[in-house]
Every structure is written in C-alpha cells, then in structure tokens.
Amino acid sequence: MPGIVLVGAQWGDEGKGKITDMLAEGVDMVVRYQGGSNAGHTVKVDNEEYILHLIPSGILYKDKICIIGDDVVVDPKTLIDEMDQLMARGVCLDNLRISGNAHLVMPYHKTLDKFEEELKGKHKLGTTGRGIGPAYVDKMARVGLRFNDLFDREEFIGRLGHTLKYKNLILREIFKHEGFETDVIAEEYLAYGDRLKKYVSDTSILIHNALREEKFVLFEGAQGTLLDVTHGTYPYVTSSHPVAGGACVGAGVGPTKISRVLGITKAYTTRVGEGPFPTEQINEVGELMRKKGGEYGATTGRPRRCGWLDALLLRYSARINGMSALAMTKLDVLDEFDTIKVCVGYKVGNEVISEFTTDFRKLRECTPVYEDLPGWKTDTSHVKDYRDLPEAAQNYVKYIERIIKTPISIISVGPRRAQTVILRKFV
Ligand code: IMP
C-alpha cells in the first residue's frame, strides 16, 4: 500500500485539512512532517468545526494513528491546549504519537520572532509570531531542545541554561527585554514533558512498520510550496520544507516509500503575510473572494490577500513536488463572477515570461498576463457529481488541467465533507 504526500500547491491555506480529513477515512496513519503551530487546519464535520494547529486532522477518526513527525517544531503548551479542547469534545487521543526528535518551541523563540519582525521594519515577513523561524534557527545552529531532552532533567536544565546565556544577551542588549530564567522555563517544560511522555516515541519506526505491512500512510504538509524555505518566494517564506520532498526528511522515510503526491490548490490564490503576489486583486474582486471564501487566517485571524489563479505558479508547484494529481478547493467561491481570469504569463520589462520565478523582485515588478474564461453564475455548493457542474465550471477545470499538465482528481465546493466531487480515483 502506498505512502502518499498531500502538499499545499500555493502559499498555504489551500484547504489541506478538509482533504486530509476526507482521505483519512481510508488510511491507517496520518503524519504531519514539518512546520508548527503557524498552521491552522479547519475541518467541518456535520455541524462541528475543528481548528487544528499541530495534531493531524485524522485524529477525528477513532482508528487512525496520527503522528507529529521529526521535523515539526512543537510548542508544547499549544499542543496541550489543542489536546484538551479535543478531549473536551469527546475526541480520543490514544492514537497520537509525537517524535522524540521534534524540536520544542521555547518562550524565547516567540519573543525573538516578534522583536526580529519589528527590527526588520519595512522588510518584515509578516510571520505568525509563533516562534517558528527562531526554533528552526536553533535546530540548525544545534542549540535546539527536543522532546527526548525533556526526559533527562539534568541534561535539559544544563543545555537550556547554556542556550539562555546568549539568548538573554541578545534579548537584553539588543531588544531591552528582561530575559528569561532557566529555572522557570525548565520547570514549566519538564511538567509538559511529564504530561506528554506517553505520546512520545520513535515515529520513524512506526511509519516504516506500517508501510512494510502494506498499510496506507498519508503524509500531511503544512503551509504551501511557495512558502518553502528553499523553493518558495524567499525571503517571504516559512523556515521549513512544506514541499513533498520535505516529507522524507520530516518523517524519516526514504523517497522510494512515497508513491503518490497530491497537490492542493484553491480555484483562485491567497496569501497571508508579506511578499510578492502577482495576481493579487486589491479591489472588489479580491473583496468578494475574501468574503465568500471566508479568507481569514485560522491561526492569526488576519485577512488573507486574494487574487486570480496563477498557472505559472501552479505548474512550478507541480514540478517541484512531482505532483501526481491536484485537488481543487473552493470552486464555489468563483460562482458569482462574470469572467474568471487565469494568469498565463508575467510581463517583466518588455519580455513576457511563461515560467514561474522565485526571484521576488521580478514577481514584485511583473504585470500578469491573463486569459479570460466565462464564469458560470450558478450555485455549485450542492454539486456532488462532476457532470452536474455547469459547463463553464467544467471548462475551467479542464483548462487548468491542460495548462498545468496535471489531472484534477478532487473538487471541493464547500467546507463540509459532503461538498466534494470526485473526478477520478486518486489512490
Ligand atoms: P512563520 O511561519 O510564522 O515564520 O511565517 C512566515 C510566513 O509564512 C508569513 O508570511 C506567514 O503568514 C506565512 N505562513 C506561516 N504559516 C502559514 C499557514 O499555515 N498558512 C499561510 N501562511 C502561513
């Protein structure tokens, strides 16, 4: 049975939570492989809405093993709050597992995230303020603390004290902050360790065994391809690897174990935070998308920037991820438009380019070249069968498949599980 990666094809918020939740029904294990509580997955089941930041949405099914993988950075307090909220609503967490290699987001990471953003002034990234960048910096600088460290009291206090020496120097000297006490943080975090210990294990072995037993494992990325620290619109990116390749490093599996990659795209484009966005619509078009699509961040509540679908970006994303198929979400958000635009080129100076570039200067300066497609002006939110979609909506889907050269397997026309159209079998 396959290992399948589910990846955001744009700048995040593509509706991965809903698609994971939908596919999770048929899988044995769901693995989150990167990012932290900067993510926010909204899942609607019947009339209940769940917003998950760290725990894979497969947890809403009783029999799925849900893993927080090696390359996730975990704020244990946020995780415990999320667990408590789920348990209060009757969700069982016995199947949750956390990698001992996952790094801890510490209080100083969150403080530094905010100060560093302020210091950047007009060059700020618009981070979620969840300490993600500073936590990954410490991981790479080899001064991070991991879940497994929580179970060796002396070692934890010693290493934390060492790290705090220079963190406090930066906080006090540069940012005029009072700094942090080793004892206070240590006691708080060691208590989190006591609470979470029973969930912590060697998750790479669990995944390996599941795949060897022909089980179906879904690797769930957070954020999106264009926020990848290497392949995204650097520096306006997150600090991890949301791309499909990130699943191998982030979960501890070899590339030969991944058999399919499903990209998730909205029928249009959104972005939160700073950075270039060629097809952004700062006008009534963008307003309508935001209003109809409920485009406000699940983590920070920030209004999302909205714009037309960018075919260059999607084709790039299909390439970087080795995408086998696409799921297109929120098609219903386009129901009211007379004309729907798709960006098919960027005009940079006198030249029109047809391949995406990660050079943020070109992206910032380019003028998008659009292809106009007729809208369908019909409510599609109740459609369950592809043949019942208005012809213009079918043409839109076929057009995107043709220019992205990737089949669209799933179309979502609303937040509920039932509001999904399956075009072709993906697995
Ligand atoms: P950070 O991940 O908090 O460091 O933020 C870096 C950039 O990634 C900012 O532009 C954020 O708005 C963006 N970002 C981080 N997480 C998400 C997400 O889950 N969805 C959309 N954008 C995100």
**Domain CATH for 355:** 3.90.170.10
Distance, in Å, from the CA atom of 402 to the CA atom of 63, rounded to the nearest integer, reads 38
Q: Among residues 224, 225, 264, 266, which one has the least CA distance to residue 396?
A: 266
Q: Which of 272, 274, 302, 360 to mutate to test the pocket of ligand 1 (most atoms within 8 A of CB)?
A: 272
Q: What is the pLDDT of residue 48?
A: 85
Please give the model's pTM, rounded to 2 decimal places. Answer: 0.96
Same domain membership, residue 95 and residue 184: no
Query: 295 in a domain, yes or no?
Result: yes
Cβ(278)–Cβ(363) below 8 Å: yes
Query: 11 in a domain, yes or no?
Result: yes
Same domain membership, residue 174 and residue 129: yes
Q: What is the CATH number of the domain that holds 26?
A: 3.40.440.10
Query: Nearest residue CA, atom 11 of ligand 1?
Result: 127
Same domain membership, residue 365 and residue 216: no
Among 150, 179, 196, give the residue marking a domain's end.
196
Query: Nearest residue CA, atom 1 of ligand 1?
Result: 127
Among 196, 221, 243, give the residue marking a domain's end.
196
Same domain membership, residue 50 and residue 13: yes
Distance, in Å, from the CA atom of 14 to the CA atom of 361, rounded to the nearest integer, reads 25
Same domain membership, residue 364 and residue 247: no
Tokens of residue 309, six digits: 């679908």
Tokens of residue 11, six digits: 């700048």
Q: Which of 51, 57, 128 to mutate to test the pocket of ligand 1 (most atoms within 8 A of CB)?
A: 128
CB of 109 within 6 A of ligand 1: the answer is no
Q: What is the pLDDT of residue 1?
A: 58
CB of 10 within 6 A of ligand 1: the answer is no
Q: Which atom of ligand 1 is nearest to the CA of 222?
A: 19
Vertex 326: Cα angle to 9 and 28 (nearest 5)? 95
69 Cα–ligand 1 center, Å: 19
CB of 127 within 6 A of ligand 1: the answer is yes
Per residue in 258-316, pLDDT tens? 999 999 999 999 999 999 999 999 999 999 999 999 999 877 888 999 999 999 999 99
Contacts of 121 (CB under 8 A, 6+ apart): none
Cβ(67)–Cβ(24) below 8 Å: no
CB of 226 within 6 A of ligand 1: the answer is no
Tokens of residue 282, six digits: 């700062």
Q: How many structural domains does the chain have? A: 3
Same domain membership, residue 405 and residue 312: yes
Query: How many alpha carbons fall within 13 Å on the CB side of residue 117?
Result: 19
Residue ranges in the chain modelled with pLDDT below 70: 1
Same domain membership, residue 286 and residue 208: no
Range(s) of the domain holding residue 287 = 264-422
Contacts of 31 (CB under 8 A, 6+ apart): 56, 66, 67, 69, 203, 207, 217, 218, 219, 220, 247, 251
Same domain membership, residue 86 and residue 37: yes
Same domain membership, residue 170 and residue 220: no
Cβ(329)–Cβ(43) below 8 Å: no
Same domain membership, residue 397 and residue 249: no
What are φ and ψ of residue 361, in 5° steps? -65, -45
Among 161, 196, 231, give the residue marking a domain's end.
196
327 Cα–ligand 1 center, Å: 21
CB of 105 within 6 A of ligand 1: the answer is no
Same domain membership, residue 114 and residue 93: no
Query: 427 in a domain, yes or no?
Result: no
- Indicate which residues carry an active-site annotation: 13, 41
Q: How far apart, in Å, are the Cα atoms of 70 and each of 35, 129, 251, 298?
A: 10, 22, 5, 24
Vertex 101: Cα angle to 100 and 103 (nearest 5)? 105
